[in-house]
Amino acid sequence: MPAMTKEQLEHFEHFGFVTAEQVLDPEEVIDPVIDEYAGVLDSLADELFEEGKISSKYEDLEFGERVTQIYAESDEVYNGYFDFSLPQGGITEDTPFWAGPAVFNALTAPSLLDAVESFIGPEVYSNPVQHVRIKVPESRAPRDEKGHVKFGITPWHQDQGVVNPDADETEMLTVWFPLMDADVENGCLSVVPGSHKDDLLTHCPGFDNGLQSGLQIPETEFEVGKAVPIPLKKGDALFMTKFTVHSSLPNNSDRIRWSFDLRYNPIGQSTGRTSFPGFVARSRSNPQSELHDPAIWNDLWTDARDSLAKGEQPSFNRWDGSEPACA
């Protein structure tokens, strides 16, 4: 795909988001990621079966049905086994994560970086605020003691609100894309057009509206009625500013919703999570600084995990719930 068009960039500036079709080649970029994660699920199934948490490894099921069945029977979600990041606390030397070569190749796909360059310029840093999200159907999902789906709806938030203040001046770009079609039924994202013009809104930790809980913006703080769903096909991508208010819809389908949630910023600017490793994805001025070896990327995350496991773990949250909107 070529760089973003003038019309797309104008839409982004005006509304705070824009979509683009076929940013990532489904066969060359996304399918290898799917195959790689099938191997991760194999390892997880082996472990849970040996521990007696599941009665079968369900090897005859396709990935989506298999992960759904494993989560349902074990009554737990295992995000860390698949995520190419670390949790925001409780990190130990054996905390699981996945930073495989197919994932790395997706983060550094030339077509994706071409699009990113259109927004933030030719010096592109891969920000470590990044996740894979595998959301199983809510009808079969494990639930917590309050009855909430353990990994379901993502509450209303701005991506600037979930990083530390050292990134307040960072020109951070969010890139969200599905590994399979994402629609209203299986829980695509919902975006509030124009909400990026309000700068940073109050986020309330532990906020509970009866349907979801966690760090979120109370609906009194923005025009929730303006929200629009953003369905995407496999290979398409959504680009958002760091101030764009968004959430995800519930997965009311009978299939998983599977997506990547990435950040990029200009080289030299703070990532907002400095204890996690980023890397130079593209540099027109110094190509030698670019990282092209996925094994090194994996080592960076392993070293970060080991260091954090031995030392004091930093705070990842700027909010304490004392703001009036959180009352």
Domain locations along the chain: 6-312
For the sheet with 246-248, list strands across it: 228-230, 189-191, 246-248
Using a 10 angstrom Cβ sphere, with 0-12 exposed, 13-18 middle and 19 or more buried, the burial of residue 35 is exposed
State residue 1's pLDDT score: 44
Q: For 6-10, 153-157, 208-212, 280-284, which range has the lowest pLDDT when averaged over its residues? A: 208-212
Tokens matching residue 116:
């990113």
Q: DSSP secondary-structure letter at 49?
A: H
Structure tokens at 118: 């259109």
Phi, psi of 71 (to 5 degrees): -65, -45
Nearest to 298 by CA among 80, 85, 108: 85
pLDDT in tens, 108-147: 999 999 999 999 999 999 999 999 999 999 999 999 888 8
Residue 66 has pLDDT above 70, yes or no: yes
Cα 266 to Cα 292: distance, rounded to the nearest angstrom: 18
Instruction: Measure the CA–CA gap between 204 and 214, rounded to whole angstroms.
Output: 8
Q: How far apart are the first and last CA of the chain?
A: 47
Q: Is the pLDDT reported for residue 106 higher than 90?
A: yes
Q: Could you tell me the fold of the domain covering 6-312?
A: Jelly Rolls (2.60.120)
Could you tell me the pTM of the whole model?
0.96
Residue 151: the pLDDT is 85
Q: Could you tell me the two tokens for 131? A: 């996740």
Query: What was the pLDDT predicted at 209?
Result: 64
Q: What is the pLDDT of residue 2?
A: 55
Distance CA 218, CA 139 (A): 26
pLDDT of residue 53: 97
> With bands split at pLDDT 50, 70 and 90, how would you rate the model's confidence at 250?
very high
Q: Which helix (H) or strand (E) holds 190?
A: strand 189-191
